[in-house]
Structure 1
Amino acid sequence: MLTELLHLLNGLLGQLLVPLLLIAGVWFTFKLKAIQFFHFAHMFKVMKNSRVTDGHGISSFQALCTSLAARVGTGNLMGVAVAISIGGPGAIFWMWLIALLGMATAFAESTLAQLYKEQNQQGNYRGGPAYYMLKGLKSPAMALVFSICLFIGYGIVFSTPQAYTIAEAFNYSYGIEPIITGVVLTTLAGIIVMGGMKKIASFSEMVVPFMGVAYFLVALWVILTNLEQIPGVLKDIVFSALGLQEAGAGMLGMAMMQGIRRGLYSNEAGLGSVPHAAAAASPNPPHPVSQGYVQMSGVFFDTIVLCTCTAMIILLSGIELGQTFGIQLTQQALENQVGFWGSDFIALAIFFFGFTSIVANYAYAENALPFLKMNNKWGRIAFLLIFLSMIFYGSIATLGEVLGLADLAVALMTIINVSAIVLMTKTLVTLAKDYNEHIDRGEIPHFVASPEQEQQMNLTPGIWQRDNPLHNTQASTDRN
């Protein structure tokens, strides 16, 4: 009954979610003058000095790695496999489309999160959608509802598919019982997350680049050894997506739905999760928009690069689709390409991808605690126990339950968050214009809010007034 209810709710929300995401992506692409295309090179230029911080927040690079830790998870390996199994090769086309449009949406939500951030009792930055809903829209109700969804999604649900996939991969490769994997995952996660945001960011900064590059190189080897098949695979992706193949019309809707859902679940653009990492950063250059550029690149790396790697491994393997599902499809596909070690490599990759997602989920969900009146000793203990118990549950759950709950949480959070950032388009466009005017004048972009602006925009007092040491650091670095 639970599975049937989840299917019903996901079906209803899915009918709203798909057009909402597409419209939002087109809207921000238009209002920001196709920023993800015309400023594509600048997006990487901002990364040059992204490891510098003012001491109050994590660096922009750490914020990117933390967001990638959450993004680059089991969705890149299991989610892509599920999408292709159900929706066919055409699902990949719709993943690409939602990522390209989603880059503008990711820019919007991360920029706003930076603008409306505040400092906690330890002097560290924090923020996210609930903060720009409360401050920018002056809507405590919207902030509370989003925080409830955030707590349910990232504090309870989203770690379960990661744990499930890790357990399944290790069971397939090594015969390890899921309950054993669950105990190990829960213990390791507890050790990391109790160190707080800075420890999570440091862990992500160390692991994410390594695992991403390793997976990319293996996929690149598969592609290079099958170059003659690439034109045919690309043709299948496009023709299947547009319903131009035999029996393609009936698969068109399924390919679109699966591609968009898995693309969203993977890159999280518009979901409202990544802004929590973005708000915790000290942006360099010291302007809210610079963090928007950094997080926009995360969507590109996650979906256009890594999800495509998984798609190519599967579609070049020769495995008949529909016979194997989930992470086992990715494991068998790589085995067909590189031999016996392919399954072991995927098992290790899914461990690192999934585990970093789990610890990043905790960092995101923490931001809901102040709005739920749980930002105290006992509230945090209760949250930690709930979070860790759901990791263990995910290791022994069924795929249908796990994905159904995850999809429902994604839909609810996305609808609330996208509505909020669309309502704040005017503020966003003003910030982007201010940043680009600095660039056009050959200046280092910086944002300093006057007392009048603080009051008018309802910003946290002092956050954008103090002299920022990043001004001098950036200028010195550029001269050198």
Structure 2
Amino acid sequence: MELINSFFENISTFLWGWPMIILLLGTHIFLTIRLRFPQRKIWLAIKLSVSRDKHAKGDVSQFGALSTALAATIGTGNIIGIATAISLGGPGAVFWCWITGVFGIATKYSEGLLSIKYRQKTKKGKMLGGPMYALEKGLGQKWLAVLFAFFTAVAAFGIGNTVQANAISTIAQNTYHISPYISGSVICLLVAAVLLGGVKSIAKVCEFLVPFMALFYVLGCLYIIGVNYNYIPSAVSLIIRSAFDPSAVGGGFAGASVIMAARFGIARGLFSNESGLGSAPIVAAAAQTRNPVRQALVSSTGTFWDTVVICALTGIVIVSSIIAYPDIDFSNGATLTKEAFSKIPYIGEPLLTFGLLTFAFSTILGWSYYGERAMEYLSGKKLMYAYRLVYIIAIFFGSIASLGVVWNIADCMNALMAIPNLLSLLLLNGIIVHETRKYLWRDNLEKDMNE
């Protein structure tokens, strides 16, 4: 087992090294320029995300699709992942993480557009789409589509299932002394109850859970920032200066450098918001929307909320707490977040516990949909239902097991998902520009795609 773990750990380190970072960030920047900075339309996108397109075709509302995507995206990485980036790369990592969110909006926009452009309707009227359909119908590369679907189906058991279940059971045991066997069983039952209703049930739960948990966490972070208000200017200044000047960090982060800050900040941002990964477009394809660009704009807000807002707030809370409380041990990313939040009386630890629990649970729901759609693409309905059953059972085992190997395998699968998806985005950029010109640049957002 140690040899297997070491093997996948080495593969994961290679896959998520500089080549992948350059490919992902390069795609973000290329699409940003090619699409004339779609980030400018973020407020229009937010407005569209809360508007129901009643007469459009689809399985769930645009907000329901966005909530499901956010449920899968907003996870423990937004809390623990940011702390890990800071401990390894210094405060400057927060800046680079934020930058990936800003540029990643263009990639998430492009993914959403292709998901609607190439989605297909089943005999029962259900909408199916995602990178596998763009790869097959847009590029004519069925083999790449199959690879993407396979990697997605496998990755769902890691990043979206066992790892999240383990995080919940660990928190329940350490905070409330609840046995992992009990918490694992409860999670299984709750997830099963939601999954039996299909995408509409998942979307309804996510529509309620995601705004509530995100708002609660954001307000909590703002409260902590208010408590640390004397240190906020210093924290923001340190984050920006240390992103470009290692000497600005000080002795506590002596091992940090601009290269390390950029590497860990960019990697964490990319992993957190999943722009370019190809997961969010799978549920975007089910949205009720009259044309591809409307849903593309709605999808782009997912990266905005996940990284530009939530990850940035987490980073400011942690860095300001490090400045305010010099006794915090920032060398261990796994415990840094807990130490930083625990310094705030009354609200600090409960906020962290609630955030981790709800974020992890929502990720299980969101990724269940991704995995099922990938399996349906590969094998049809019969194995999809078997996949759902195995997915639910895996939650229990994830709650009680050690997951080092699973975590590393999931990292590998995520990277392997991104490669064919990024190829589709780069090679189909002409289609993305054409659709954007047709509906957005010519002010035709109200136009139906069939007109």
Same fold? TM cut 0.5: yes
Q: Return the letter of the residue paired with 2:278.
A: G
How far apart, in 2, do the equivalents of 1:232 and 1:45 lie? Answer: 34
Q: Return the letter of the residue paired with 2:295.
A: Q
Matching residue within 266, 291, 306 for 1:302: 306
Tell me which residue corresponds to 2:263.
257
Tell me which residue corresponds to 2:328.
320
Offset, 1:155: 4.3
Query: CA offsets, 1:298-343, max 9 Å, x none?
Result: 10111111112222232222353445443x533332221133x532
How far apart, in 1, do the equivalents of 2:441 and 2:65 lie? Answer: 25
Query: CA offsets, 1:423-458, max 9 Å, x none?
Result: 00000000000013441xxx553243xxxxxxxxxx
In the alignment, structure 1 residue 336 sits paired with structure 2 residue 340 = no
In the alignment, structure 1 residue 23 sits paired with structure 2 residue 19 = no
Matching residue within 201, 204, 210 for 1:202: 204
How do 1:136-151 and structure 2 match up within 5 A? 136-151=138-153
Tell me which residue corresponds to 2:394.
390
Matching residue within 415, 420, 424 for 2:424: 420
Contact (CA 8 Å) 1:134, 1:140: kept in 2 or not? yes
Query: CA offsets, 1:236-261, max 9 Å, x none?
Result: 22233224225767533333232222
Contact (CA 8 Å) 2:62, 2:295: kept in 1 or not? yes
Tell me which residue corresponds to 1:3.
5
Tell me which residue corresponds to 1:191.
193
Task: Evaluate the alpha carbon distance shift between residue 160 and residue 40 of structure 1 in structure 2; reply closer, same or farther with a 3 A threshold.
Answer: same
Q: Return the letter of the residue paired with 2:176.
A: Y
Tell me which residue corresponds to 2:415.
411
Q: Return the letter of the residue paired with 1:294.
A: V
Tell me which residue corresponds to 1:367.
373
Task: Evaluate the alpha carbon distance shift between residue 261 and residue 181 of structure 1 in structure 2; reply closer, same or farther with a 3 A threshold.
Answer: farther
Offset, 1:157: 4.6
Q: Return the letter of the residue paired with 2:319.
A: L
How far apart, in 2, do the equivalents of 1:87 and 1:397 lie? Answer: 30
Contact (CA 8 Å) 2:101, 2:273: kept in 1 or not? yes
How far apart, in 1, do the equivalents of 2:392 and 2:197 lie? Answer: 15
What is the DSSP-based 3-state SS (H/G/I as helix, E as strand, rest coil) of the residue aligned with 2:36?
A: coil
Offset, 1:230: 1.1
Tell me which residue corresponds to 1:73.
75
Contact (CA 8 Å) 1:77, 1:310: kept in 2 or not? yes
How far apart, in 1, do the equivalents of 2:129 and 2:189 lie? Answer: 28
How far apart, in 1, do the equivalents of 2:401 and 2:280 lie? Answer: 26
How far apart, in 2, do the equivalents of 1:322 and 1:402 lie? Answer: 26
How far apart, in 2, do the equivalents of 1:88 and 1:171 lie? Answer: 31
Matching residue within 131, 134, 143 for 1:132: 134
Task: Evaluate the alpha carbon distance shift between residue 156 and residue 77 of structure 1 in structure 2; reply closer, same or farther with a 3 A threshold.
Answer: closer
How far apart, in 1, do the equivalents of 2:181 and 2:261 lie? Answer: 34
In the alignment, structure 1 residue 34 sits paired with structure 2 residue 66 = no
Offset, 1:200: 0.2
How far apart, in 2, do the equivalents of 1:137 and 1:396 lie? Answer: 43
Q: Return the letter of the residue paired with 1:353.
A: F
Task: Evaluate the alpha carbon distance shift between residue 415 and residue 302 of structure 1 in structure 2; reply closer, same or farther with a 3 A threshold.
Answer: same
Tell me which residue corresponds to 2:360.
354
Offset, 1:7: 2.4
Contact (CA 8 Å) 2:294, 2:445: kept in 1 or not? no
Q: For structure 1, which segment, 71-80 or 248-257, has the greater mean C-alpha deviation from structure 2 after superposition?
A: 248-257
Matching residue within 376, 396, 410 for 2:381: 376
What is the DSSP-based 3-state SS (H/G/I as helix, E as strand, rest coil) of the residue aligned with 2:375?
A: coil
How do 1:170-319 and structure 2 match up within 5 A? 170-245=172-247, 246=250, 250-283=256-289, 286-317=290-321, 318=325
Query: CA offsets, 1:404-435, max 9 Å, x none?
Result: 23321221111111111110000000000001
Q: For structure 1, which segment, 131-140 or 232-241, has the greater mean C-alpha deviation from structure 2 after superposition?
A: 232-241
Task: Evaluate the alpha carbon distance shift between residue 65 and residue 48 of structure 1 in structure 2; reply closer, same or farther with a 3 A threshold.
Answer: closer
Contact (CA 8 Å) 2:129, 2:281: kept in 1 or not? yes
Contact (CA 8 Å) 1:181, 1:395: kept in 2 or not? yes
Task: Evaluate the alpha carbon distance shift between residue 90 and residue 370 of structure 1 in structure 2; reply closer, same or farther with a 3 A threshold.
Answer: same
Offset, 1:35: 1.3
How far apart, in 1, do the equivalents of 2:32 and 2:100 lie? Answer: 12
How far apart, in 2, do the equivalents of 1:436 and 1:381 lie? Answer: 39
Offset, 1:8: 1.3
How far apart, in 1, do the equivalents of 2:235 and 2:163 lie? Answer: 29
What is the DSSP-based 3-state SS (H/G/I as helix, E as strand, rest coil) of the residue aligned with 1:182?
A: helix
How far apart, in 2, do the equivalents of 1:404 and 1:254 lie? Answer: 21
Q: Return the letter of the residue paired with 1:90.
A: G
What is the RMSD of the two structures over their aligned residues, measured on CA atoms? Answer: 2.1
How far apart, in 2, do the equivalents of 1:157 and 1:413 lie? Answer: 13
Instruction: State percent identity of aligned pairs.
Output: 33
How far apart, in 1, do the equivalents of 2:260 and 2:228 lie? Answer: 28
What is the DSSP-based 3-state SS (H/G/I as helix, E as strand, rest coil) of the residue aligned with 2:376?
A: coil
How far apart, in 1, do the equivalents of 2:77 and 2:434 lie? Answer: 34
The unaligned stretches of length 5 or more in structure 2 are none
Offset, 1:402: 4.6
How far apart, in 1, do the equivalents of 2:153 and 2:393 lie? Answer: 14
Q: Give the number of aligned pairs.
A: 440
Query: CA offsets, 1:250-294, max 9 Å, x none?
Result: 5333332322222122211010000011110011xx210111111
How far apart, in 1, do the equivalents of 2:87 and 2:179 lie? Answer: 26
Q: Return the letter of the residue paired with 2:30.
A: W
Q: Return the letter of the residue paired with 2:312.
A: T
How far apart, in 2, do the equivalents of 1:118 and 1:228 lie? Answer: 54
Offset, 1:5: 1.2
Offset, 1:153: 0.9
